[in-house]
Structure formats: structure tokens, C-alpha cells
Amino acid sequence: MDLTGKNAVVSGGSLGIGSSICIELGKAGANVALNYRKHGDEAEAIAEEIRKMGRKAFAFKADVTSYKDVEAMVSKAKEEFGRIDILVNNAGINWDGVIWKMTEEQWDTVINTNLKGYFSFSRLVSPLFKEQNFGRIVNITSINGLRGKFGQANYSASKAGIIGFTKAIAKELGKYGVTVNAVAPGMILTQMMANLPENIKDAAKDESVLKRIGLPEEVAHLVVFLCSDKAKHITGEVIKVDGGQYI
């Protein structure tokens, strides 16, 4: 897939799936602006790796729960790149607990990060995409937004919300040449997942018909495809990358 000359904004780009998405977008030819909140060194290292490919790239500190922070990042990306062609909403967190023990803070923090952040970025790039009659939005959700997950009512609700959000704005933006799709990973071997107890990883493998845990770049490859011209007739879809874990 060739994304030469395209400009991408990626939220949550410093670690895990997000960092792989940034790298693969860069490999495909895109310039990349990546967001981080805590992991500045890691984010700058990703940006530097992309710059070594001959692309433009920068890391931007922003709290995705803050509309003003997101607005500042989008403005910076437009200033640096001239235009924005691609948005990948990836920033998200989990804060687990069964519903009878979950606090209001747990609920609000996860919902605001995982849903409001997606709204803010999408709200801000949509006028740009409409004006240029082109755009690609890819929202990272989860198979747990499709099936629910014990101990993750807040996370599952946010990821299910992303699916509805994706379909709604796909309808709103389609006539302007903008595609909007969601990618739903299963268990993926990120830095955070690598530290999970072996029994949890084994349970995920047992659920998968392929009997393996996915890799971040396997999610990123699909994201790059959805951002390319090869996927220009695909919109409003939710595509799982889970090795058959959901089925």
C-alpha cells in the first residue's frame, strides 16, 4: 500500500499497537503526528524512527480527554504538514472492576479517554476532510466491544460505543469522500500484555482458533490497508484481528 504524500494523525502512538501503526504508516510513505500523554521518550523515539525513513514526524503531548489539548495537536499537524489526510483514533485505557465495585472515577476515566478522545479528534478533522473531499478515519475498538468482558463494563461499553460512533460518522462523512472504519483486535502481545500472568495469555490462546496471540504489526497492517486507495470502497465496517478469538 502506497501512502506517499499523505499526512496522518495517530492518538496513543507511543506504545503497543499505536506505535506499530505509526511505524507502518511511515513505511507506507505517510508523514505522522503521534500523540502521547506519559511516554514522551518512547513517542519521540517512534517519531525519530519515522524521520529516518525520510518522512516528517513529530510527537505531541496531549491529554485526549481535553478538547483543547486535542485541538492544539490537530492545529500543529495542519501547520507542520499543510493538510491532514488520515486520522487513527487509538488512545485508550482500561481500569477493571466488577460493576458492584466499580467507582464513578473508574467509569468516567475510561469513558472519557476511550470515547471523548475519539470524538474530539474526529470532530476537529471532519471540517478539513469535508473541505478537501478526502479523508480516512480508522478507530481502534476491541472484540470486547462486540461480546463484553467480565470485569470490564466500562471498557466494553466504551469499545461498543466506538463501533456505533464509527457507523454514525461513516454515514455523515461518506458523501465527502471520507471512509470511516473500525478495527477490533483480540489479545495482542503489547508491552502491557507481555507482563500478564501466563494463565491469562494461555486462556486467550485457547479461545483463538489459531492458538496464538496476535502481534501489534498485524493490527497495523490492516490499518494501513484501510487508509489506502485499495480500501476506498470500504466504510462503516468493523474488522476483527483476533485469530478467531471472537468466534
7-241 CATH fold: Rossmann fold (3.40.50)
The enclosing H or E element of 126 equals helix 117-132
33, β-bridge pairs: 9, 58
Contact 142, 163 (CB under 8 A): no
What is the Cα–Cα distance from 46 to 15, expressed in whole angstroms?
A: 9
Residue 180's SS3 state is: strand
Q: Which residue has the cell 475498538?
A: 141
Contact 245, 207 (CB under 8 A): yes
Q: Tell me the pLDDT band of 241, cut-offs 50, 70 and 90.
A: very high
* Per-residue pLDDT at 2 exceeds 70: yes
Q: What pLDDT does residue 179 have?
A: 98
**CB 150: neighbour CB atoms within 10 A?**
10
Q: What pLDDT does residue 227 have?
A: 98
Residue 67's SS3 state is: helix
Q: Which of 67, 118, 155, 246 is the catalytic position? A: 155
**pLDDT single digits (tens) 74-101:** 999 999 999 999 999 999 888 889 999 9
- Per the structure block, which three cell numbers stand in for 188? 495482542
pTM score: 0.96
HEC string of 1-61 equals CCCCCCEEEECCCCCHHHHHHHHHHHHCCCEEEEEECCCHHHHHHHHHHHHHCCCCEEEEE
**pLDDT single digits (tens) 152-200:** 999 999 999 999 999 999 999 999 999 999 999 999 988 767 677 788 8
| Stated length of the chain | 247
Which is more confident, 189 or 33? 33
Q: What pLDDT does residue 195 have?
A: 72
Averaged pLDDT for residues 104-114: 96
Residue 72: C-alpha distances to residues 3, 45, 65 (Å): 25, 21, 13
214, β-bridge pairs: 188
Sheet holding 238-241, edge to edge: 57-61, 31-36, 7-10, 86-89, 135-140, 178-185, 238-241
* Per-residue pLDDT at 60 exceeds 90: yes
Q: What pLDDT does residue 108 have?
A: 96
So where are the chain's domains?
7-241
**pLDDT single digits (tens) 130-142:** 999 999 999 999 9
The enclosing H or E element of 240 equals strand 238-241
Is 155 a residue of the active site?
yes
**pLDDT single digits (tens) 110-131:** 999 999 999 999 999 999 999 9
**φ, ψ for residue 99, nearest 5 deg:** -60, -35
Write down the number of H helices and E strands in the chain: 10, 7
Q: What pLDDT does residue 193 have?
A: 72
